[in-house]
């Protein structure tokens, strides 16, 4: 049984391969038939760059001088448009093989370690955002990324494989290697690794499937957010009250606010997807949850208090946020998510929830099994994370939301009932037994700029049950809304 899959960056994870980029560059400069770059020798400036002996700024004049020497030996002079700066800027625009990223996520979920070996460099130029984008995506999708410029060795040198295996605490026989280059295939096999030469990505993934006995080409889930490998922060919203949040990505901000009884972690499949799509994602622990403050006073969890806590934010909320839109509407950016947990058409129904939860039964879990089976959408590690989070503050803070039923109802009645003019998205789920799609009938009368999304084969928990479908709906709507507002979004993938 294989315990790890190691990928070569160029050709196995991103496209095009460096050799293809060099070839295309020579074609555009009119020197392709001379193979100038391929003839500069083995101990060249590019190799020194990849081993971290020079930075890209230092390497560019050396590389151009080497190419000029080769050209002179061939009786040529390089054209004026020959620019190493332009060449390496083009390299930074490489695209990821989406099926490989998906396969890596499946392998990790099944306990198989994933690693990328990257012949890459320290980019200190003004165009370094391209390499930074590549590395950012790699770090979020693979267990380990070995950069040649830090390791001091490059593919196909055996020491780079040995270094990766040592970090993974594995023997060569327990690992699989994927690459386009035949020389690195032989090097990996020489160490005792099983090697797969990539000629077609789909066929290569089928080989991985055979070697690991894991279906990597089906049942794909988006990458999820690891609590240990994401930036956490706090914001003080008033004396003695702080809100915990997770922060990932760059770009227009998107604020993710969970419902009951959840956590910022409920958005774990959406956070990486939105960040890769070009947004800065801020996922909150709402007041009373997780690492946020849990004030004991019931009124602290009211609509009015909660609304004031979220002023000046982009609001994506999956429970009862309709009335926040009526709260100083002009102070909010024009983005509100109505997810499948959103229960309102014309009026919020939050005042109904206390009777739903605690009506005549005498309690929320009366009559439930003593030891109910774990849901299929929760792994044991995910369940334990939720247990850890709710152990910190218990359920008083979360339940205080519902203890404010009458207070929220009276406050809502005092508010103007004008239309919500900001763009909004409503996502319904066909198999939700609690919040039926029919509940959203007529929303357009109050929300004229409403966009609808629907996931038929999905229950109550859209983010976790059908994350890929929900991500596609969210990202498509966010991009379209920002485009209409002339706000630029720069995706990583």
- What is the distance between the alpha carbons of residues 119 and 179, in angstroms, rounded to a whole number? 12
For 231-486, the fitting CATH number among 3.40.50.11540, 3.30.1480.10, 2.120.10.30, 3.40.50.1820 is: 3.40.50.1820
336-338 and 424-429: which strand pairing?
parallel
pLDDT of residue 361: 43
- CA quadruple 110, 111, 116, 117: dihedral, nearest 10: -140
Q: Where do the CATH 3.40.50.1000 domains begin and end in the chain?
A: 4-14+94-212
Put the strands of the sheet holding 175-179 in their side by side order.
Answer: 144-147, 113-118, 4-8, 175-179, 194-197
Q: Where do the CATH 3.40.50.1820 domains begin and end in the chain?
A: 231-486
- What is the SS3 string spanning 217-270? CCCCCCCCCCHHHCEEEEEEEECCEEEEEEEECCCCEEEEECCCCCCHHHHCCH
H or E, element range at 147: strand 144-147
H or E, element range at 184: helix 182-191
Q: Where do the CATH 1.10.150.240 domains begin and end in the chain?
A: 17-92
pLDDT of residue 383: 86
CB 347 within 8 A of CB 413: no
Report in angstroms the alpha-carbon separations of 134 from 20, 153, 179, 281. 18, 20, 18, 19
pLDDT of residue 220: 61
Q: Which fold has domain 4-14+94-212?
A: Rossmann fold (3.40.50)
What is the DSSP secondary structure assignment for residue 428, as one 8-state letter? E
Residue 119 phi/psi, 5-degree rounding, is: -75, 95
Q: Divide the 493 residues of the chain into consecutive groups of 10 and give the mean pLDDT of each group.
A: 95 90 89 85 89 96 93 90 90 88 88 96 91 89 96 97 97 97 96 95 92 79 86 87 91 89 93 93 91 77 58 37 39 36 29 37 57 70 88 86 80 80 90 88 91 90 89 93 85 71
pLDDT of residue 192: 97
Q: For helices 84-91 and 56-73, what crossing angle results, to 10°?
A: 120
- What is the distance between the alpha carbons of residues 315 and 334, in angstroms, rounded to a whole number? 9
CB 469 within 8 A of CB 455: yes
pLDDT of residue 346: 24
- What is the distance between the alpha carbons of residues 219 and 250, in angstroms, rounded to a whole number? 29
Q: Which fold has domain 17-92?
A: DNA polymerase; domain 1 (1.10.150)
């Amino acid at each position: 049984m294989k315990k790890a899959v190691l990928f070569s960056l160029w050709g196995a994870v991103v496209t095009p391969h460096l050799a293809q980029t060099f070839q295309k560059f020579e074609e555009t400069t009119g020197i392709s038939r001379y193979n100038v770059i391929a003839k500069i020798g083995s101990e060249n400036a590019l190799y020194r760059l990849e081993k971290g002996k020079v930075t890209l700024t230092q390497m560019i004049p050396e590389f151009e001088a080497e190419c000029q020497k080769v050209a002179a030996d061939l009786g040529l002079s390089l054209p004026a448009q020959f620019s190493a700066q332009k060449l390496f800027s083009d390299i930074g625009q490489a695209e990821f093989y989406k099926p490989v990223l998906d396969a890596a996520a499946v392998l990790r979920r099944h306990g198989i370690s994933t690693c990328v070996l990257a012949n890459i460099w320290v980019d200190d130029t003004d165009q370094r955002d391209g390499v930074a984008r590549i590395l950012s995506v790699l770090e979020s999708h693979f267990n380990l990324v070995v950069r040649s410029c830090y390791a001091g060795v490059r593919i196909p040198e055996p020491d780079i494989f040995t270094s990766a295996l040592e970090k993974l605490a594995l023997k060569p026989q327990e690992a699989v290697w994927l690459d386009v280059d035949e020389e690195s295939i032989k090097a990996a096999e020489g160490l005792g690794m099983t090697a797969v030469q990539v000629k077609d990505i789909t066929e290569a993934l089928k080989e991985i499937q055979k070697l690991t006995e894991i279906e990597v080409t089906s049942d794909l889930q988006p990458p999820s957010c690891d609590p240990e490998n994401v930036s956490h922060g706090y914001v003080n919203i008033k004396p003695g009250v702080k809100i915990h949040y997770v922060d990932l990505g760059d770009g227009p901000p998107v604020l993710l606010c969970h419902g009951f009884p959840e956590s910022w972690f409920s958005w774990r499949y959406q956070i990486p997807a939105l960040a890769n799509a070009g947004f800065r994602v801020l996922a909150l622990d709402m007041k009373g949850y997780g690492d946020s403050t849990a004030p004991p006073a019931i009124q602290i969890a009211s609509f009015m208090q909660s609304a004031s806590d979220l002023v000046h934010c982009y609001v994506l909320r999956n429970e009862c946020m309709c009335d926040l839109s009526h709260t100083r509407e002009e102070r909010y950016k024009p983005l509100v998510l109505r997810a499948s947990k959103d229960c309102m058409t014309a009026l919020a129904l939050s005042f109904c929830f206390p009777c739903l939860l605690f009506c005549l039964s005498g309690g929320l879990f009366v009559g439930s099994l003593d030891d109910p089976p774990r849901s299929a959408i929760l792994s044991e590690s995910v369940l334990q994370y939720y247990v850890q989070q709710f152990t910190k503050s218990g359920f008083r803070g979360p339940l205080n939301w519902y203890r404010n039923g009458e207070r929220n109802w009276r406050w809502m009645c005092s508010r103007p009932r004008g239309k919500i003019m900001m763009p909004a998205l409503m996502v319904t789920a066909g198999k939700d037994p609690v919040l039926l799609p029919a509940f959203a009938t007529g929303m357009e009368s109050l929300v004229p700029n409403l966009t609808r999304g629907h996931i038929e084969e999905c229950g109550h928990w859209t983010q976790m049950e059908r994350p890929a479908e929900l991500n596609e709906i969210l990202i498509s709507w966010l991009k379209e809304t920002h485009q209409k507002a002339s706000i630029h979004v720069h995706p990583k993938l």
